Chain A
Amino acid sequence: MKAMVYRGPYRVRVEEKARPRIEHPNDAIVRVTRAAICGSDLHLYHGMMPDTRVGHTFGHEFVGIVDEVGPSVQELTVGDKVMVPFNVFCGSCYFCTRGLYSNCHNVNPNATAVGGIYGYSHTAGGYDGGQAEYVRVPFADVGPSLVPDWLDDEDAVLMTDALATGYFGAQLGDIRELDTVVVLGAGPVGLFAAKSAWLMGAGRVIVIDHLDDRLEKARTFAHAETYNFVEHRDIVVLLKRITDHLGADVVIDAVGAEADGNLLMHVTSAKLKLQGGSPVALNWAIDGVRKGGTVSVVGAYGPLFSAVKFGDALNKGLTINMNQTPAKRQWPRLLEHVRAGHLKPNDVVTHRFPLEEIGEAYHAFSAKLDGIIKPIIVVDGAA
């Protein structure tokens, strides 16, 4: 089969690879039709995630058709069209039984701090991902759901991570009626978080980025006030000025490890790998939120330490909520919202690439060329 393969930092290609096999009675093999590249994949692509092996296939956002099922699988049959949450999870451990699917303890030998994620290095369990023609889906009776026939394929792909994560990020902000909510980062996750903040009753939604096309999308798609951080000498002062010098009630970090805005922080983390991630956006969140406010972190950071302004967080009495998203937990409500028209996920899709052009797709998304926001990988051109 054809699969995207990692060759080293900033280098990927399509290779002919052995089709995955059933390795556990509850496995399924899914033939992928559509996949996506996530902002998280860029951390792997840039060589920031420890134990990213040559030959690894990325891709944790995908939908497809069930091609084969293991002997104990009962919920799926061959031919079913499924969306697969980005988390690999067992459904039965201490964490899964409490809804913490992203923190499953039974699927990742390599790290106890990290759950299982498709195509996200060995630090996330060593599973090949879905930017390929076929993918092994463990716990086929637990993770995947049938794609409802009224749901668009691209919307289904976005349910598996980006949309679920934006919605989850807004929930972690514990938003109350008429709160002022700041979203750092206008990528797919930030755009969905901004949109979701309104559903939870925000009074103001402010989005910060440095890419004009994305800020434009934040205004039109997410009805947000926007600021370009490059145009302001000190973004924290700006945030204070526009919130009566109190700070926002809620700040959501939808940027993560490769935050820009401070070259030293960016270079020491993204380029030299001396930090788990550049904490620029997280520190803006800590300093820009009001005392007693809530910081929601869905931007992803690596396992090494980062220079986070913890003292300010302590002195301000902040609540900091964070996690990888338990994607499937969001689905019942998200499907209602999509069906009712409150959310239109594929409005953020700007580019579509065939799997064969995976090198260009990664480069364009990494360098944010051409106003790219969310690239979809078309794996099965015929579907």
Chain B
Amino acid sequence: MSDHQVEGVPEYTYTPDKAPPAETSEQLRARIPGWGVDLDPADRPQVPRERRDLDLPGVRWRFPERQPELQPRERSIEHGTLPPVYGTAQPLHGLSGTIRRLAYRRYSEARAAHWLLLMAADRVEARGAVLRSLATLRPDDPVTETGIVAELEHHGWRSRIGRGRADAGHHALDPLVVGGSWALGGAATFVVLRRAARARRR
């Protein structure tokens, strides 16, 4: 016990010094390949965080040429103008498109309504896509699309059971998230048909 130590108080934690390291820098350098090659905090790619000396030799513009806007492009109302370059994949369409357009036109990214409308549109679009696919040569196939056969090919049981995994419990909920749209769609159709049938009987 060193002389400054007080009876009943641990030597570290509640006193000025940290416990000495379990291993010294020399020991670590010998044990771990590459230990300390980036030791100097000032000599790391992210330091300082904002740097004007990084080289991007291919940049020859102050503002990039604008990509032609062949279709009206939705944008966040927090933008002052349409950025010059953007993705043109999956343009807005149908009911989901109307909801998304509303989310972009009306609400900033700061508003929960913006994101909740976008999520609602995602669900509407996915359900619609399942229905629309039935009229195509390639209807949605939950078996291949969920990749569920991987459970057989990649030891679904053995990968989970008896391994104390924290996620095994909610994996059981996954089919609800997937099947939910089919179940909900089915239930909705049933209710509508039943109403229609009752209305006709009356």
Contact = CB atoms under 8 A, between A and B. Distances in A.
B170 A263 contact: yes
A231 B12 CA distance: 27
B87 A10 contact: no
B112 A304 contact: yes
A176 interface: yes
B85 A98 contact: no
A288 to B, nearest CB: 15
B109 A113 contact: yes
A244 B12 CA distance: 7
A177 B12 contact: no
Interface in B90-138: 90, 96, 100, 104, 109, 112, 115-116, 118-119, 121-123, 125-127, 129-130, 138
A369 B152 CA distance: 10
Given A106-B83, A109-B79, A337-B34, A359 B146 contact: yes
B126 A108 contact: no
Interface stretch (A153-161, A166-174, A184-192, A309-317): A166-174
Given A172-B46, A337-B37, A112 B76 contact: yes
B31 interface: yes
A47 B78 CA distance: 25
B36 A199 contact: yes
Interface stretch (B1-9, B54-62, B189-197): B54-62
A228 B89 contact: no
A68 interface: no
A27 to B, nearest CB: 8
B19 interface: yes
A47 B116 CA distance: 12
Contacts of B73: 109
Contact of B32 (A7, A54, A223, A359): A223
Q: How large is the interface on A (under 10, 10 to 19, 20 to 34, 35 or more residues)?
A: 35 or more
B199 interface: no
A303 B119 CA distance: 11
B126 A7 contact: yes
A292 to B, nearest CB: 13
Interface string A337-363: 100111100000000000001111111
A367 B171 contact: yes
A23 interface: yes
B30 interface: no
B45 A171 contact: yes
Contact of A109 (B10, B82, B130, B166): B82
Interface in B153-178: 153-156, 159-160, 163-167, 169-171, 173-174, 176-178
Most buried by B among A24, A263, A340: A24
B16 interface: no
A319 to B, nearest CB: 12
B: interface residue count bin: 35 or more
B64 A11 contact: no
A117 to B, nearest CB: 10
A23 B73 CA distance: 14
Nearest to A205: B32
Contact of B167 (A200, A210, A303, A362): A210
Contact of B46 (A91, A176, A329, A369): A329
Contacts of B153: 360
A72 B59 CA distance: 11
Contact of A270 (B18, B50, B125, B170): B170
Nearest to B144: A359
B22 A176 contact: no
Contacts of B163: 211-212
Given A26-B65, A91-B56, A110 B75 contact: yes
A57 B89 contact: yes
Contact of A92 (B33, B63, B160): B63
Given A111-B76, A200-B39, A210-B165, A369 B155 contact: yes
Contacts of B34: 198-199, 337, 340-343
Contacts of B65: 24-26, 72
B186 interface: no
B147 A360 contact: yes
A99 B90 contact: no
Given A10-B146, A110-B104, A260-B170, 8 more contacts: A11-B178, A25-B65, A107-B86, A142-B56, A203-B23, A212-B163, A304-B115, A359-B146
* 3 smallest beta-carbon distances between A and B, as pairs: A342-B34, A141-B58, A126-B87
Interface of B: 10, 12-13, 18-19, 21-23, 25, 28, 31-39, 41, 44-47, 49-52, 54, 56-65, 67-68, 73-76, 78-79, 82-90, 96, 100, 104, 109, 112, 115-116, 118-119, 121-123, 125-127, 129-130, 138, 140-142, 144-151, 153-156, 159-160, 163-167, 169-171, 173-174, 176-178, 181
13 contacts: A75-B58, A107-B86, A110-B75, A122-B90, A139-B85, A201-B39, A210-B164, A210-B167, A228-B164, A263-B170, A273-B119, A369-B151, A370-B159
Interface of A: 7-13, 15, 23-26, 46-47, 50-57, 72, 74-75, 88, 90-92, 96-100, 105-113, 116, 122-123, 125-128, 138-142, 168, 171-172, 174-178, 196, 198-201, 203-204, 210-212, 223, 228-231, 244-246, 260-261, 263, 266-267, 270-271, 273, 302-305, 329-330, 332-333, 337, 340-343, 357-364, 367-372
